[in-house]
Amino acid sequence: MEVKLTPYEEEIEKELEKAQPVEDLEAWKEALKEAASRTLAEREKAVTLKFPSKEAKEEALRMLKERFGGDLEILS
């Protein structure tokens, strides 16, 4: 059975994959804390919205793209 990770867990996993291998458990714990901190910092810039319909979602995204242009990144 495959476990479905949350977006937060996926980001931490990606950060850990980038980390250098460590022999020391304390160093590993510190790397984990740093990865979590970076992920939380990125999440503070993101927002999740739920729309009543597909049309409402499309209209909201259109308006946001008009307002923020290339600065807006749509995650899903």
Return the domain boundaries, the chain: 24-68
Q: pLDDT of 28-55, one tens digit each? A: 888 888 888 888 888 888 888 899 999 9
Amino acid identity of residue 56, one-letter, is A
**DSSP label of 17:** H
Considering the entire predicted model, what is its pTM? 0.46
Q: Rounded to an integer, what is the distance from CA 38 to the centroid of its chain?
A: 10
Q: What is the pLDDT of residue 2?
A: 77
Q: 10 Å Cβ neighbour count for 61?
A: 14
- Which pLDDT score, from 0 to 100, does residue 73 have? 83
* pLDDT, tens digit, 9 for 90 and up, residues 54-66: 999 999 999 999 9
